[in-house]
Structure 1
């Protein structure tokens, strides 16, 4: 009989942090009052591994990638957020340089679907240059020359995902995300960066309207959960497309309640937490949400309000339903 380790409607905050040199699931088993010997094999098979370090340095970023044990091969696309000009919380190119160099990667982005300097390629390139990316990396705006369609299975809203056409030029994907709040999605992490982040301008509108972009009121009358479910659906198409040639890293620093797509985001109210990485984007985002709730930082209140107000956890729930990953995980401290 399958064991249910969490309720579907709220974060699970009792995962214990475990040292990588001595993995011991006993604390979780005692918590759940399960006989260890009978269930040890199940526990090891069912949980996704999420690696954690409190050290937020370029060296730690490379180390956590290595510890995942999946070497990305061929042409590697490193998906980042280039940051809307005016904002200052986005991950800086100097911070990620060692990692991008290590995987011989190309930094990739896509244009936005809302007014701003990243909506069209000409101004987006200027913003990318101003933020220092072109000085350090090869950079590619993947939808600059159009888009391609990826099919979506078992969806409620979207049948296809429109992504930058240059995605087909890469063999592997490294999703490097700044975990923070989001004014529409509640929070943004691996799933958002994999879905809306890789979507073309048309694809972003397609997701935001839950497939109703052609309707006059599609953008303004889309139910919140339909938008969140559409993000999960889009993410599922990317994971299916790249299969085992993808991994995910979330950086929990400068944790504002606003996204890096905001040109005037609010200053962070809580302290930095660390870097997390996984082969499973669902487990990764769930772990980040759990760390916010578990934090003893009083500044977390605004972010929790933002996440709950927008029902942000529902993206994680829907991605798990679609088989993108699991909400059950081991948090492994690699330091």
Structure 2
């Protein structure tokens, strides 16, 4: 079994060397610099945070990554994709406005924002993977056409994956709406007919011709539906919803692994990963709030292997003592499974073991600390 290198800096600093100088060493020593060539269009993939959340990676860190990418004579841009659920990121306009509200303006981070799956989240490219769940995956076009990717992940808990790190960021974060729909659920969305205005806007966006108006209310032909998610995105009355509980956590994690594999297959050796073990909150940044972190801040990791960096992240979090004023009410001693305590019905190991099985990366790692 291959052993992957994962590099680590803690958050200690001094008058002699501040944390950003240590971060530059992390970027260089982890070989992230080597995946970037002059003139590359480099996607810096991050989560801008849903409106109301505060746990997302802070803009100052992102600006440092932008500078490091520019040092290689490349052209960085910040990117994310639109969401399935109604919120402040379901289309490109709202998503960019939300990002600016959270501090990611050009004047702050010195790079433009491009929403990778387009205005409404339906711009993608197919990549063949021939795996158990998917023969092909739908990657956001901006990801597909980028020359290299630096994947910045706020490491935290997640209600479906147990934790969210680089694997989730690759998968959910780099797919279009159709990809998110078929990772999360079966193809057809749930419909709340009582909310329907009878406007027919969704029908214009349904490429499969699965929607029609019957008795002034929307009707869905489930046999025709391909799960593109455009009805969810286009409806002004939020009639359509993802059936979040249609699939088990195990299946969702396996499907995420296959989508992540699609990104690496397309980009080959041009993807690098940085996990921030800072503000380790119990739930995803997609939530419109951020609860108290469950542990003290640990540091920052970097690697070329998404499985290894997520494995190290889990291990480091679980080694820590839990914070008493957090969602962890009991059993907060060191060397306890924090994510199992937060999401007891989710086996977080699935995304790691399945990712390793399909060739996404290795769970065996060598942790290298940079002082």
TM range (shorter): 0.7 to 0.9
Match of 2:115 among 126, 134, 141: 141
The whole-number CA distance in structure 1 between the counterparts of 2:355 and 2:127 is 16
Deviation at 1:133, TM superposition (A): 1.2
2:122 is equivalent to residue 151 of structure 1: no
For these two proteins, the number of residue pairs brought into alignment is 290
Against the structure 1 CA distance between its residues 229 and 79, is the aligned structure 2 distance closer, same or farther, given a 3 Å change threshold? Answer: same
Q: Considering only aligned residues, what root-mean-square deviation do their CA atoms show, in Å?
A: 2.1
The counterpart of 2:152, out of the listed 176, 180, 183, is 176
- The TM-score with structure 1 as length reference comes to 0.81
Deviation at 1:252, TM superposition (A): 0.2
Q: Secondary structure at the match of 2:173?
A: coil
Q: Which runs of 4+ in 1 moved over 6 A?
A: 210-213
Contact 2:296/2:323 (CA < 8 Å) preserved in 1? Answer: no
Q: Report whether the alignment pairs 1:162 with 2:138.
A: yes
Unpaired runs of 5+ residues, structure 1, are 3-45
**Whole-Å Cα distance in 1 between the matches of residues 341 and 177 of structure 2?**
29
Gaps of 5+ in 2: 13-18, 71-75, 190-224, 228-240, 333-337
Please tell me whether residue 75 in structure 1 is matched to residue 41 in structure 2.
yes
Q: What secondary structure does 2:117 align onto?
A: coil
Residues in 2 aligned to 1:220 and 1:179: alpha-carbon distance in whole angstroms: 23
- Larger displacement relative to structure 2 (200-209 or 222-231): 200-209
| 1:277–1:284 Cα contact (<8 Å) kept | yes
Q: Which structure 2 residues correspond to residues 1-335 of structure 1 after superposition, within 5 A?
A: 46-55=2-11, 57-70=19-32, 71=34, 72-73=36-37, 74-104=40-70, 105-135=76-106, 136=109, 137-144=111-118, 146-153=123-130, 155-209=131-185, 214=225, 219-297=244-322, 301=332, 303-306=339-342, 308-335=344-371
Shift of 1:217: 8.7
Q: Deviations 1:95-145 (Å, cap 9, x if unpaired)?
A: 221111210321111001111110112211210111121232211101115
> Whose Rg is larger?
2
Structure in which a larger fraction of residues adopt helix: 1
CA distance in 1, matches of 2:242, 2:29: 47
Structure 1 window deviating more from structure 2 (95-104 vs 234-243): it is 95-104
- CA shift in 2, pair 1:235/1:188, >3 Å: same
Question: Displacement of 1:219 after TM fit?
Answer: 4.2
Distance 1:129 1:309, change over 3 A: same
Per the normalisation by structure 2, the TM-score is 0.73
Instruction: Report SS of the residue matched to 1:285.
Output: helix
